[in-house]
Amino acid sequence: MSCAPPPPILRLHPPSSISPFSSPRRPHLSPRTCPWRLAAAREMPWPHVLTVAGSDSSAGAGIQADVKACAALGAYCSSVITAVTAQNTAGVQGVHLVPEELIREQLQSVLSDMSVDVVKTGMLPSAGIIKILCESLQKFPVKALVVDPVMVSTSGDSLSDPSTLTYYRDGLFAMADIVTPNVKEASKLLGGVSLHTIADMRDAAESIYKFGPRYVLVKGGDMPDSSEAIDVFYDGKEFVEFRGHRIKTRNTHGTGCTLASSIAAELAKGSSMLNAVQVAKNFVESALHHSKDLVIGNGPQGPFDHLFRLKCPPYNIGSQQRFNPDSLFLYAVTDSRMNKRWGHSIEDAVKAAIEGGATIVQLREKDIESRPFLEAAKACMEICRSSGVPLLINDRVDIALACNADGVHVGQSDISAREVRELLGPGKIIGVSCKTPAQAEQAWRDGADYLGCGGVFPTTTKANNPTLGFGGLKAVCLASKLPVVAIGGINATNAGSVMELDFPNLKGVAVVSALFDRECVSSETRNLRSILASVRCLA
């Protein structure tokens, strides 16, 4: 079958009413009327954020920041430009508004054709522009709307007309999933109240919530004299304080735009709001950290590097699958002493576990020298890659980096998941051993992918490891926003009872001695897998 390519964009007709450069109206095509869509055998959805914002000539904030942040987080970003600003690291020198009809036209062009998941707004400089946006969103509803009510630049220059306040409060906010003012903007929205403390930020979030958004995040980036950058989140019932390290740097131009578009990107990828805000907050903090010493421009406030992860060594775009929590179903954790006892090499043990149906493997080698460990890890990587089973390394980030493992598992006394994430980059899997709801919360905040919770039963594999029982496991599962794998004393006799607990985020069991302190690792694994499968199907 031959597929016609998209027609070229021709400008053969007389100029339209909008500007001498605009092309004639072309019909808005639906997928069914696009012959070239048939060319794709398997269509892959691409999370899509549309930013409706102003251009920043210094490219640290505005549309330019939004496009970079979305790209860094794996979302496509289209843009409707509301204004063109002349800015640099010293401040805003000029602002020119795009004609309202052309803004309407841009919205129509993108929203009618491009399957936008989330709209994020930045600089909406006039009341008329907000009105046009509300109308367009009514015509083309999207999954979520993130409103960053940009009013004043950090340099103190005004970026919106005072008449917009009413249109934000009485129009756009009611359509918004989240509104993200900084303290100055929150104050303006509330008629000039002064905000100095966290308690003030909470009060402001509560008042702004009354305008109708589903969530409010009052950002504290500009709160003076704090070693932490604290943002206050409110969902109408509860407050959550998002606390991060305050990075000492002049390069904070565009943090607000970046935070809002990162939230939008995560929502477009399917995250919950709380998770999206946490990922966005971590992303801004990491970007500032990696950019703190960069120098661009001579003014007081410089841009930062949204694409810092491209410079991180293990950033292998496309080489890894995204973490699939179902891979925790039967988690095989190796132990060198057990292997020695049975005369197995690490490679043989891993091969046998995979043959028997292990769905993820962790090398937990506590008494082996670094060099032979790395050699074995490289060999295990080949085995795991060829079978599509992820391989994680316990604790040793250096070994994981050197063998390009799929991730690292850390305990409470190892370096934190946040630090591991910094070292490994975004594409790797990070697991954390947790015994309490508080540890589970921290692991999620630190950017981990899953929790190992135990010991569920008494175990001899790990010394001084208190037993949690089903009660402790339940408490962690209920508190955890991450998938959980149960560990500790699990074997063929009791694995079924763990799976029968049926907590939604309890994805599987991790086993050490039940597989590796045995002569035939593959048949032990096969047996355990069939026990697990008799309780729960692996999706």
Ligand X SMILES: Cc1ncc(CO)c(N)n1
The residues carrying an active-site annotation are 219, 252, 254-257
Is residue 61 close enough to count as binding ligand X by CB under 6 A? Answer: yes
- Contacting ligand ATP (CB under 6 A), which of 206, 222, 347, 398? 222
Instruction: Spell out, one character per residue from 182 to 211, where the chain touches ligand ATP: x when CB under 6 A holds, - when not.
Output: x-----------------------------
- Contacting ligand X (CB under 6 A), which of 51, 52, 56, 67? 56
Residue whose CB is less far from Mg ion, 256 or 508: 256
Instruction: Spell out, one character per residue from 407 to 446, where the chain touches ligand X: x when CB under 6 A holds, - when not.
Output: ----------------------------------------
Element at 515 (helix H, strand E): helix 513-516
Among residue numbers 58 through 97, which ones bind ligand ATP (CB under 6 A)? 61
Amino acid type, 433:
S
Please state, in angstroms and rounded to a whole number, the distance separating the CA atoms of residues 198 and 231: 9
Q: Which listed range, 249-257, 283-291, 358-366, 518-526, lies at the site for ligand X (CB under 6 A)? A: 249-257
CB of 86 to Mg ion, least distance (A): 18
Distances (CA, A) of 412 to 146, 301, 439, 495: 36, 38, 8, 25
Is residue 264 close enough to count as binding ligand X by CB under 6 A? Answer: no
Please state, in angstroms and rounded to a whole number, the distance separating the CA atoms of residues 144 and 265: 10
Residue whose CB is less far from ligand X, 151 or 384: 151
Is residue 121 close enough to count as binding ligand X by CB under 6 A? Answer: no
Residue whose CB is less far from ligand ATP, 91 or 469: 91
Neighbours of 293 (CB within 10 A): 8
Q: Could you tell me if 454 and 466 are in contact, meaning their C-beta atoms sit under 8 angstroms apart?
A: no
Task: Take residue 472 and report the two structure tokens written for it.
Answer: 């402790």
Among residue numbers 284 through 303, which ones bind ligand ATP (CB under 6 A)? 284-285, 288
Task: Take residue 483 and report the two structure tokens written for it.
Answer: 């998938």
- Contacting ligand ATP (CB under 6 A), which of 195, 247, 333, 448? 247
Q: Which long-range contacts (CB under 8 A, 24 or more apart) does 128-132 make?
A: 128/100, 129/82, 129/97, 129/100, 129/103, 130/164, 130/167, 130/168, 130/171, 130/172, 131/167, 131/171, 132/100, 132/103, 132/104, 132/107
Q: Where are the alpha helices (DSSP H) in 404-448?
A: 417-424, 437-445
Residue whose CB is less far from Mg ion, 257 or 495: 257
Q: Could you tell me if 410 and 431 are in contact, meaning their C-beta atoms sit under 8 angstroms apart?
A: yes
Q: Could you tell me if 207 and 226 are in contact, meaning their C-beta atoms sit under 8 angstroms apart?
A: no
Residues that bind ligand ATP (CB under 6 A): 61, 154, 182, 219-222, 229, 231, 244, 246-247, 252-257, 259, 281, 284-285, 288
Residues that bind ligand X (CB under 6 A): 53-54, 56, 61-62, 85, 87, 122-123, 150, 153, 159, 254, 256-257
